[in-house]
Copies of this chain bind each other. A is one copy, B any other.
């Protein structure tokens, strides 16, 4: 509730004006600046069409650590995206979801799911900055959403690469390549369809999350009708996630049955454990720097 004027922010009620460091530079009345008039200033950086905010120790802000998106400016790749969504759940529930290739078999039956997504085993690995859960499904029919966009005929080999990086950003890579040309060690086939789905979970309160997202694809970069169709289909699938996650948020808060971890939850457990450790470590460092 206010206005941006040059490089300052003006209060919409009485005009108190703050510079980029959060210092008050103007106040109404006598013009004397009240000594305790200041707002918290956070380092921010614009990249990939998003404003990245650093809420930790400002001295440790480092723009080069922002999530890397290799093909964002690659003119051979197309992009689709939609408006940010407001989820009524803690951000970690969406992180869980994005380390969970299996849920598509039940939540997204009309788009991303297919029989093989029910039971093909998962590979879980930790990286320096996150956790990856992935699997190849060999010689399968393409799932409905992808069938509409891949440009080869017949069965495919399908990769689900689900990667969440600390604190809460995800790359979901899908590869659909003609059957027999995929698998962990195969070079990318010339007809392979690749879609990188980027997901940014921003906690706004303990029970709410603002969810930004877009996808990059390696085909038809300038086909705006294709972009529109894919955006709409993805948004629809994310609404399916939202319905489930909002219910999980309520169910976990009013838990009436025991907590069960399944074998498919291995990625999420590793991610949460490491994130907790990082948060604890940051708090310790902050305390030392102040003490």
Q: Name A's B-contacting residues (CB within 8 A).
A: 1, 10-15, 27-32, 34, 36-37, 39-40, 100, 102-103, 105-107, 118-119, 122, 243-244, 247-248, 257-258, 260, 262-264
Contacts and interface: CB of A to CB of B under 8 A. Distances in A.
Given A28-B102, A28-B264, A262-B29, A244 B36 contact: no
Contact of A106 (B14, B243, B248): B14
Contacts of A107: 12-13
B13 A260 contact: no
Given A29-B264, A247-B1, A103 B36 contact: no
A116 to B, nearest CB: 13
A30 B262 CA distance: 9
A39 B257 contact: yes
A280 to B, nearest CB: 23
Contacts of A118: 15, 28
Contacts of A247: 1
Interface of A is mostly: loop
A15 B106 contact: yes
A2 to B, nearest CB: 8
Contacts of A37: 260
Contacts of A14: 100, 102-103, 106, 262, 264
A14 B96 CA distance: 12
Contacts of A262: 14, 27-29, 34
A239 to B, nearest CB: 13
Residue from the set A11, A29, A32 with the largest chain B CB neighbour count within 10 Å: A29
Given A28-B118, A244-B1, A103 B34 contact: no
A244 B12 contact: yes
Residue from the set A37, A118, A260 with the largest chain B CB neighbour count within 10 Å: A260
A89 to B, nearest CB: 13
A11 B106 contact: yes
Nearest to A1: B247
A13 B244 contact: yes
Given A14-B262, A28-B264, A36-B258, 16 more contacts: A1-B244, A10-B106, A11-B106, A13-B103, A13-B106, A14-B100, A14-B106, A15-B118, A28-B105, A28-B118, A29-B102, A29-B122, A29-B263, A32-B263, A34-B262, A36-B260
A99 to B, nearest CB: 13
13 contacts: A11-B106, A14-B100, A14-B106, A14-B262, A14-B264, A15-B118, A28-B105, A29-B102, A29-B263, A29-B264, A30-B263, A34-B262, A37-B260
Nearest to A265: B29
A28 B12 CA distance: 54
Nearest to A256: B40
Nearest to A266: B29
